[in-house]
Structure 1
Amino acid sequence: MTRTVYVNGEYLPETEAKISIFDRGFLMADAVYEVTSVLDGKLIDFEGHAVRLARSLKELDMQTPCTKEELLEIHRQLVAKNDIVEGLVYLQVSRGSDGDRDFAFPDPETTKPTLVLFTQNKPGLANSPASQKGAKVISIDDIRWGRRDIKTVQLLYPSMGKMMAKAAGADDAWMIEDGYVTEGTSNNAYFVKGGKIVTRPLSTDILHGITRTAVLRLAKEAQMEVEERLFTIDEAKEADEAFTTSASAFVMPVVEIDGAVLGDGTPGPIAKRLREIYLDESLKHAI
């Protein structure tokens, strides 16, 4: 079935979707994005994604293409038109095109941002086999730009990190800067020692994960101890268990780091419980 996508005010078959070759998202990675999960045909954490999108646009002095209410309606229309029960809605806003290439930003009064959205059908998203088995990660140097809190489409190095992990027989990579773990290639990173959950505090060094916010709140409500601080990869390798959080994988247990097996090599109890709580609560509040 041909997907219906959204491009600048129009719902189109994916085969008919076009943007300018001069679009700054294409030429300069001058764009931001969000990915919202769909479970049971409903959007998970839409409000959080909309708020973070607005922040990313503001940080880059980029125009807002539509209201939050209009954005919600576009999401719902795409979910319905593509019969998505479990899957993802990808959204991207670029600074648009003024018909040529230039390092200087185009005049926002005359150049509108480009807004595109599409869906991805992912049956079994909530009960993925990967979450039952747990992920293996390696560590790599973090050489990205300094504003990782802005969710831009500058994803070349994270993509390279995924490929480094694949070449090493692992599933993902955790990035290291100045001796400390920043985050995974597409997720926030955590380890558990003695029942305490440890994760890096928010700053411009990491993405302010929407799932991270929800999971840490739920962990505290469940009387779990949480400590936000810098940590090394060696600390994580000595942990009882570890996990990552992201909008598309929710809470993903980690069972091996740089070849060091955590616990008994299976998903740990805290990661499994947090995944269960997060999915349960998210479905209750899905829209």
Structure 2
Amino acid sequence: MSRVAYVNGRYLPYAHAAIHVDDRAVQFADAAYEVIAVIGGRIADLDPHLDRLDRSLGELRIANYPPRAALAVIARQMVRRNRLDYGLLYIQIGRGAPGLRQSPRDSTFPKDLRPSVVMTCRPLDFRKVAARAATGVAVATMPDQRWARVDIKAVSLLPNALAKQAAREAGAFEAWMVDRDGNVTEGASTNAWIVTADGTLVTRPLSSSILAGITRHVVIAQAREAGLRVEERAFTVAEALAAKEAFFTSTTGGPIPVVTIDGKTVANGAPGETTEKLVGLYRRHLASFAADPAAAFQVLGG
């Protein structure tokens, strides 16, 4: 199947899709983005993702981009044109490229820019996600060297990429960022959680130090509805190693158990029952967006 991309009003063959070399997303990482799950040909949690995109763009002072209704139409067109059944939709909106009469590279915002809008799709094998959830994964801790506004989902992800690359080279699947006080902030592309000895779920509170994960929000709501206690507070690496369970959450994986941290085993080195319960609840949440939730639930791991 040939892939289709959307760039500034046009649906193009993926191989021919491009933005201008002077686009500020290229020159300054002056853009925000979202990654959204597609389940059974339908987009999951589109409204919360567009809410977060609006917030990020507001914080970056990027305006005059297409309204929410137009973005939703384009997003659904992208899923349809790519014949995407299970996978991910990527949306990026940047400040745009200066005109020929403007300075091509100026740190200050050029006037009257037209924001650039990009969307792409790609399939995702949820069987691999389910396999990770079944066995658990390793994480490696890294010093948090990102900028101070990671609550903005901007495309400036180089520190995240370097941390994740270092984690992979250390034999881990994900990197957990650690602040100057020794507390875990979040993963390179995930939110971090632990389960204490008394069964309390702990995850860092929202602030400029972490991204307000859509999956994080869903899991908190599901956990509380299931009668589980949730605390939003900081926790240390030592506390995570002493925890009953550890896991992380993201759009691409949902809850994924963490069984080792820096090569040290968490609890008995296997996914815990609380995490497994949350995995099941989140799969049902995703499956609910499909035309056939029962079939989608099986595709997601049952």
- What range describes the TM-score normalised by the shorter chain of this pair? over 0.9
Task: Please tell me whether the aligned partners of residues 242 and 267 of structure 2 are also in contact (alpha carbons under 8 angstroms).
Answer: no
Aligned-residue offset at 1:64:
4.2
1:272-287 mapped onto 2 (5 Å cutoff): 272-285=276-289
Q: Secondary structure at the match of 2:274?
A: helix
Alpha-carbon RMSD:
1.4
1:26-45 mapped onto 2 (5 Å cutoff): 26-45=26-45
Aligned-residue offset at 1:74:
1.1
Cα deviation, 1:6-63, whole Å, max 9, x if unaligned, reads: 0011111112212110000001011100000011111111111000000001111101
1:162-241 mapped onto 2 (5 Å cutoff): 162-178=164-180, 179-194=182-197, 195-241=199-245
For structure 2, the residue ranges without an aligned partner over 5 or more in a row are 292-302
For structure 1, the residue ranges without an aligned partner over 5 or more in a row are none
1:77-156 mapped onto 2 (5 Å cutoff): 77-99=77-99, 100-107=104-111, 110-124=112-126, 127-156=129-158
Task: Please tell me whether the aligned partners of residues 175 and 182 of structure 1 are also in contact (alpha carbons under 8 angstroms).
Answer: yes
> Counterparts of 2:77 and 2:177 in 1: how far apart (Å)?
37
Partner of 1:49: 49
Task: Please tell me whether the aligned partners of residues 39 and 126 of structure 1 are also in contact (alpha carbons under 8 angstroms).
Answer: no
Aligned-residue offset at 1:264:
2.1
Q: Secondary structure at the match of 2:141?
A: strand
Task: Please tell me whether the aligned partners of residues 39 and 289 of structure 2 are also in contact (alpha carbons under 8 angstroms).
Answer: no
Q: Alpha carbons of 1:79 and 1:125: their partners in 2 closer, same or farther (altered >3 Å)?
A: farther
> Counterparts of 2:25 and 2:284 in 1: how far apart (Å)?
36
> Counterparts of 2:127 and 2:98 in 1: how far apart (Å)?
39
Q: TM-score, normalised by structure 1?
A: 0.96
1:159 counterpart = 2:161: yes
> Counterparts of 2:243 and 2:206 in 1: how far apart (Å)?
21
Instruction: Choose from 238, 242, 249 the match for 1:245.
Output: 249
Task: Please tell me whether the aligned partners of residues 86 and 123 of structure 1 are also in contact (alpha carbons under 8 angstroms).
Answer: yes
Task: Please tell me whether the aligned partners of residues 193 and 246 of structure 2 are also in contact (alpha carbons under 8 angstroms).
Answer: yes
Aligned-residue offset at 1:126:
7.9
Task: Please tell me whether the aligned partners of residues 87 and 125 of structure 2 are also in contact (alpha carbons under 8 angstroms).
Answer: yes
1:172 maps to a residue whose letter is E
> For this pair of structures, how many residues does the alignment match?
285
Task: Please tell me whether the aligned partners of residues 37 and 87 of structure 1 are also in contact (alpha carbons under 8 angstroms).
Answer: yes
Which sits farther off after the overlay, 212-221 or 277-286? Answer: 277-286
Q: TM-score, normalised by structure 2?
A: 0.91
Which sits farther off after the overlay, 186-195 or 257-266? Answer: 257-266
Cα deviation, 1:57-99, whole Å, max 9, x if unaligned, reads: 1111101421111111111111111111110000101110114
> Counterparts of 2:128 and 2:166 in 1: how far apart (Å)?
26
> Counterparts of 1:282 and 1:143 in 2: how far apart (Å)?
33
Aligned-residue offset at 1:176:
0.6
Q: Percent identity among equivalent residues? A: 42
